[in-house]
Amino acid sequence: MAKRKGKKATEKQAAQATATGPVGKVKEFVEFFEESKVEIKKVVWPTRKEIVTTSVAVLVVSIVIALYLGLVDLAFSKFVEAILS
């Protein structure tokens, strides 16, 4: 058992030593982009119709909320104005 732990610890130290140097950083950088490329291929991109539909929904909800908040602000300002005058 002790030999296995020692061997694993030695391998870990060797991996860390190479990862800390400039060459190790470059390897990590290249590996990151290779893995990113693989992940990007897994992405399911929305169709044009889905994009247009969700964009319209966001615009409509934004306008409705803006109108609501505008009316509430107007009502509160009139209320405060009535109290202060």
Alpha carbon distance 16, 19 (integer Å): 5
Alpha carbon distance 85, 81 (integer Å): 6
Same structural domain for residues 36 and 49?
no
Same structural domain for residues 31 and 3?
yes
Q: How many domains does the chain have?
A: 2
Same structural domain for residues 31 and 52?
no
The reported pTM is 0.54
**Token duo for residue 71:** 């009316």
pLDDT at residue number 11: 61
pLDDT at residue number 13: 59
pLDDT at residue number 63: 98
Same structural domain for residues 30 and 53?
no
For the chain, list residues with pLDDT below 70.
Answer: 1-20
What residues make up the domain containing 11?
A: 1-43
HSE of 59, CA atoms in CB hemisphere, 13 A: 6
